[in-house]
Amino acid sequence: MPLNPDDLAPLEVALLGVLCVGLPPSKAAGDDRFRIDHVTAVVSGLQSEGRAEVHLQRDGVAVTPEFRSALRETIIALTGKGVLADQAPGMPAAAGNFEAGLEVDMVQPDEHPALLDRYLGQLCMEVLFNIPAVYPYLMGRYAASGEVWRRLRDAGYGN
């Protein structure tokens, strides 16, 4: 039986929706605000309490250890449901996620599990876009992503 967003916990919806936004890797962007854990933390705070900083440390960029742990549990749960493919530390990212050879590790900025159920991810992104506090933030990240992707393409990315 296929899953839908109503079958998922709010953090699962947040993570899957963020994975569908099309963010560039934060290392390539040169900006930790593109980190999957950062964007998911902001979305989760906006989703649950209407405040972006709920799961962020004092610097406003790094996530709290509690959120990092909850995100890890969420990735494990979604992997168990067959929605994500968690990636072992030190392994290259799955094709289609971001640049070849970029290493993935939970403690590294570019935590980016492979999304296996793109349709469910798209549904979750739509749920997030329907939350008034989340929409402008995600659209801002999406717009900024376009500039980063353009710069990366101009520098020869994907050729």
To which H or E segment does residue 137 belong?
helix 135-154
The answer to whether 41 and 56 are in contact (CB under 8 A) is: yes
Distance CA 125, CA 22 (A): 11
What is the model's pLDDT at position 27?
A: 78
Strand partners, 56: 63
DSSP 56: B
Cβ count within 10 A of residue 19? 24
Distance CA 144, CA 132 (A): 19
Mean pLDDT of 145-152: 87
- Length of the chain, please? 159
Q: At what angle do helices 135-154 and 36-49 cross, to 10 degrees?
A: 160
The answer to whether 137 and 128 are in contact (CB under 8 A) is: no
The answer to whether 131 and 46 are in contact (CB under 8 A) is: yes
Using a pLDDT cut of 90, give the percent of the chain over it. Answer: 58
Distance CA 150, CA 76 (A): 33
- pLDDT tens per residue across span 81-122: 999 987 655 444 443 444 443 333 333 445 568 889 999 999
Q: What is the pLDDT confidence band of residue 61, given thresholds at 50, 70 and 90?
A: very high
